[in-house]
Structure 1
């Protein structure tokens, strides 16, 4: 999601904008992801519940027993006992995981859960998939008084909301497009690109006004805010919000008779927030890495080397270039914790997972790194506040929202997180799974038990596993490069492209290609580089060899850099593919062979928003020991589409070693 530092001044406008696809679940699916509800997943639901489909998923029926394997023995006994009690059930959520009163939690008040009526769980319906045919879902299908769980996403180009019921089924969805529905802010793609071509910002009040518009629209549609038992959300990662001195008092004194944006107009010391597309803080990155003891040392601490878009470097730049505005700041939020603050009516803590994208958090200790804080700004810890677990219940919804929209006083706010961590939650990745979004830019997500930071990619704290981690890799040259080769070698036909993959052997006779039409992120290289079986550089291949070299080279690169971040192939490994190119079975077969793992397709076009709704539900029981995946175990499984050939390991394991050596040659050449 970032070009190599030092090349930013030479980037064109089009080269910078590719990153949008990474942040918003990227790829050819990006144009579809915000357009209503897809029925394709409904068509697959019955099959997923069938025993044969369960068997095909590679998971035993036994794994779906109604148990709570991650809770302690005492907790299990209490849960089972409560299940048998004849208590009134006011919700179709959490029946398998009833909690005793006074369950301890991370929230400031430990009694939030006990104040909520008993609730129950039936996890059988479908996750959300948005389509062009239903921009707003009716709540008529849901039981009139059944609890709901609300997820929001403050993304780059829009604000979205999804409400699910106890069956995980969507009952309401809506969105506000920043450019078209809030034209007074004059954004393009939700941002302002400044004349230097490097500075990229978004108006904070645009996000506030979008929330006003969204909630007003939901109220007009008859959405039952009083039924929302818990809510959570996500925000575009790395963006910073600077609250002006006195804003905390304003948040506690909001008048339900007025809109939020009218009352918060003077609450921000920096009106245009730096966002993740910004690449203007190179000097600050250099200073931070020097203070930390080098790029690798910084990555060991924070999970990433210094990136211009990361929040700590943006804070440092604001301090240096706008000292008066920085001096007038009493709190700094991420976009995610900013969103949570609007619902809490007070400042919300930054969660561990989104905090990992700041170059400030020690991802192992889950505390701010004093070295990084000192290198960024004086007394920065006071401005940031103490970080919190991603599963923390922060408190009840504000009295302002209770009176203005009818939220219940028992509605809990679960910590908001970044859009990428929320997408991992929305895809329900199991340990060992890897998600591959094949879009304009290819993006990889995976869960990790132990972090292995490197100079490429990112390691974050996992948003749904308290002691776990997640890795993220983004590759700029994805579907656009595949389309270019298709046009040149296959007369623009995907059928011919697929036939070329079918007609060439695994390993492509030893030929390896690197296809970087524009400066790549991982690795930071550019150009077209072809090598024959003897590692000699060649100028051309036949169209068939070119096609396979492209696809194999892309997936070898994905696997190589995922392994460098700690990914390893095991007997239960699954590759979950999404994005536009996931519709091409031949491409997926190469993906399966290179990773030596079965490939499944997953139809999640709005995984960050859905993941936020899932996390809201999970936040109510997380502190009892109930795991996220156990709670969502009956969510539909993705569909297996192909398995690796038996000969794949013998072909691609040694080929991967060759690929790594050749990539180093390409990198050395790209530096000149």
Structure 2
């Protein structure tokens, strides 16, 4: 790769569970190169498997922090060997696995500031950490803390109203409480600062501990998105001085202030850099005037790898299904996540995670192929049936695995709407399952994104179309009564809001029959796109660095999406047309809402 024609370069990091990846872009956002290291291949000395250490007896899943330091040296060394022009790099940003935490000792800042460029990072920073491990997002050892956090505020929905999410095993506040109260209270006391993995990487590059970025801070169950500050009662619980800990008021106040000091101030969403890269990296690799911009979480970096605007949706169709959307509405639920947007002030990223995605569809594909004597894993017959499928008041719910959204045990449920009555059916022809599974999975996305984009794209005065929609809504209400999703009422706005653009990514997005059917049900107002975003997290980081540097040169805030749109050619994206069946699926939405209320729970 030749960089001769590039005046400015930007690096985007992605520190994931199993590898560190660094992407190189130029000032026109062109992706020039990628460097990476696979942890299992190069760092066997840490005893890891798939990048982590697992203790099945406790549910703990941990990553060695020194391994991450080694990975930074490893990739930069590879770039240096490749003749990479570090002196041209103007900015670095990136992402890391969300929710993980790094526990610094009181020696950390001194050690970070005195690094010897002739040595590697891990050998010099071993004493910089009180805890040599970082809880991984897969960790599930905090069941006790989940109950304590939700009981403190009166339930999962109330916690979501405050922090954007209900309590989850992996969330940082719960992990801190586990450490402070039952795993190692002494170690917690000795900890000087606590970083998220994202701010840890930025701190290493800067040579001093930097603040946690606001968007990533939303994944802690500690940050109040309504007040843009930490919640004192949640901090007290995390620090082990909450109501259930039966401590004095003075101990509580002291414990809150202590944890606030450990976490540091939260860095508001901004284009401004955290500072210049440290002398260690200048001397060792040849960086010059390179600025470090705040790192964020991996999902948050994904949404800035495209110029997504308010009410745009990104649907990731992997083994599981993840829906990301941009919204100005703060409409939280215990069944999905809301985070601050990492580059657009006063915007949020909504995230819905489903366990049952491709796996459930593949089971029906296999049943179809068995019936028709097709031996391989071909989707041809499935797609042939799906292309002809029309909604006929039959709907199924297919959960071969226990589902996250809605929270339900593994089960299958099939129903038919006869008149105004919903009747369960034990079995029907497998051909009915083909259309039904794609419909029910898509309608679930539609019902849950509706409240987050509620009120969008509506006329301020009544129109013929709005009157038409009101009639549909009234007919739906007459047939099904009040509709609820995850215990929250649906209303006219939530049921009739349509997304702006929809972007489909992931393995199953290569199946055009599936995404065309999904597009026909979700009803984008503008376009449906099939996009390939290799290394989206790292790419989003590089874009963030490039944008930050551009704004700083102008000494003015430039809208991130405007910046991307000025440089990003939408003609490169593959958009496709769909049959607009959005209106014909209102009954299906009503059926699904009612069927979900009858699901079995563990």
Normalised TM-score (structure 1): 0.76
Of 121, 130, 134, 1:269 maps to: 130
Matching of residue 632 in structure 1 with residue 564 in structure 2: yes
Contact 2:499 2:523 in 1 (8 A): no
For the residues of structure 1 that align with 2:5 and 2:286, how far apart are their CA atoms?
15
Instruction: Name the residue aligned to 2:594.
Output: 661
Of 520, 536, 547, 1:618 maps to: 547
1:641 CA drift (Å)? 4.1
Of 431, 448, 462, 1:561 maps to: 448
Contact 2:6 2:26 in 1 (8 A): no
1:568 CA drift (Å)? 6.6
For the residues of structure 1 that align with 2:434 and 2:584, how far apart are their CA atoms?
18
Of 323, 337, 347, 1:444 maps to: 323
Contact 2:446 2:522 in 1 (8 A): yes
Question: In the superposition, relative to structure 1, how do residues 473 and 400 fare at CA in structure 2: closer, same or farther (>3 Å)?
Answer: same
Tell me the alpha carbon deviations over residues 293-318 of structure 1, each in whole angstroms, 9 at most, x when there is no partner.
Answer: 33222111110011111000001001
Higher mean C-alpha displacement, 142-151 vs 572-581: 142-151
Of 324, 333, 340, 2:195 maps to: 333
Larger relative contact order, structure 1 or 2 (CA cutoff 8 Å, min sep 6): 1
Tell me the alpha carbon deviations over residues 618-672 of structure 1, each in whole angstroms, 9 at most, x when there is no partner.
Answer: 11244612011111113132635433424x1331123212211111111xx335x
1:377-392 equivalences under 5 Å are 377=239, 378=255, 379-391=258-270, 392=272
Instruction: Name the residue aligned to 1:476.
Output: 355
1:532 CA drift (Å)? 1.3
SS at match of 1:523: coil
SS at match of 1:266: helix
Tell me the alpha carbon deviations over residues 561-607 of structure 1, each in whole angstroms, 9 at most, x when there is no partner.
Answer: 22244467747711100111111111111111110124211110211
1:145 CA drift (Å)? 5.5
Of 212, 233, 238, 1:376 maps to: 238
For the residues of structure 1 that align with 2:516 and 2:530, how far apart are their CA atoms?
12
Matching of residue 604 in structure 1 with residue 533 in structure 2: yes
Instruction: Name the residue aligned to 1:344.
Output: 206
Of 487, 512, 515, 2:398 maps to: 515
Contact 1:459 1:565 in 2 (8 A): no
Of 569, 586, 603, 2:513 maps to: 586
Tell me the alpha carbon deviations over residues 115-174 of structure 1, each in whole angstroms, 9 at most, x when there is no partner.
Answer: xxxxxxxxxxxxxxxxxxxxxxx1x1x335611011101111100000101121122210
1:278 CA drift (Å)? 0.8
Instruction: Name the residue aligned to 1:37.
Output: none
For the residues of structure 1 that align with 2:330 and 2:31, how far apart are their CA atoms?
34
Instruction: Name the residue aligned to 1:503.
Output: 388
Q: Which runs of 5+ in 1 are unaligned?
A: 1-137
Instruction: Name the residue aligned to 2:476.
Output: none
SS at match of 1:450: coil
Contact 2:383 2:513 in 1 (8 A): yes
SS at match of 2:319: coil
Contact 2:315 2:324 in 1 (8 A): yes
SS at match of 1:536: strand
Tell me the alpha carbon deviations over residues 398-438 of structure 1, each in whole angstroms, 9 at most, x when there is no partner.
Answer: 11111111111x21111000001000111221222100011
Matching of residue 652 in structure 1 with residue 585 in structure 2: yes
1:460 CA drift (Å)? 0.1
Contact 2:414 2:424 in 1 (8 A): yes
Q: Which runs of 5+ in 2 are unaligned?
A: 240-254, 371-376, 458-497
User: How many residues are matched?
Assistant: 526
Instruction: Name the residue aligned to 1:295.
Output: 156
SS at match of 2:129: coil
For the residues of structure 2 that align with 1:146 and 1:621, how far apart are their CA atoms?
14
Higher mean C-alpha displacement, 336-345 vs 592-601: 592-601
For the residues of structure 1 that align with 2:548 and 2:198, how far apart are their CA atoms?
16
Instruction: Name the residue aligned to 1:46.
Output: none
For the residues of structure 1 that align with 2:296 and 2:588, how far apart are their CA atoms?
38
Q: Which is richer in strand?
A: 2
1:194 CA drift (Å)? 0.5
State the superposition RMSD in angstroms.
1.6
For the residues of structure 1 that align with 2:426 and 2:499, how far apart are their CA atoms?
40
1:353 CA drift (Å)? 0.6
Question: In the superposition, relative to structure 1, how do residues 541 and 642 fare at CA in structure 2: closer, same or farther (>3 Å)?
Answer: farther
Contact 1:471 1:565 in 2 (8 A): yes
For the residues of structure 1 that align with 2:534 and 2:369, how far apart are their CA atoms?
29
Instruction: Name the residue aligned to 1:435.
Output: 314
For the residues of structure 2 that align with 1:624 and 1:398, how far apart are their CA atoms?
25
Of 521, 544, 549, 2:431 maps to: 544
1:553 CA drift (Å)? 0.9
Instruction: Name the residue aligned to 1:62.
Output: none
Instruction: Name the residue aligned to 1:14.
Output: none
For the residues of structure 1 that align with 2:388 and 2:286, how far apart are their CA atoms?
62
1:39-58 equivalences under 5 Å are none
Instruction: Name the residue aligned to 1:157.
Output: 18
Contact 2:212 2:267 in 1 (8 A): yes
1:503 CA drift (Å)? 2.4
